[in-house]
Amino acid sequence: MFVCIQQNGRVKPDTVGPPIAGVEVKIKDTGEILLKSPGLLKEYYKNPRRLPSDGRRRLYHTGDAGISMPTAT
């Protein structure tokens, strides 16, 4: 599953591009990437507690680090 995509003519090295429609991406103060998407699984097979969530908005804690950069026009 992908959550971000580079647009033709707007590719920037070392970036992932903006989120696709329906995907929400947040960066915690610690730098961890959080995702919310209709394409995310609800739980792992035979291990429903394994899927980390903030408990309110069902943001998926990826464990990956990232930074948010302003988009240039």
> What are 26's two structure tokens?
């947040």
Residues 6+ apart with CB under 8 A from 4: 16, 17, 18, 19, 20, 23, 25
Strand partners, 27: 33
What pLDDT does residue 53 have? 52
For 1-73, strand residue ranges (E) read 24-27, 32-36, 60-65
| Chain centroid offset of residue 34 CA | 5
Answer yes or no: is pLDDT of 73 > 50.
Answer: no
pLDDT digits (tens, 9 = 90+) for 13-67: 888 888 889 999 999 999 999 888 887 776 667 776 665 554 545 788 888 999 8
What pLDDT does residue 71 have? 65
What pLDDT does residue 2 have? 78
What pLDDT does residue 59 have? 81
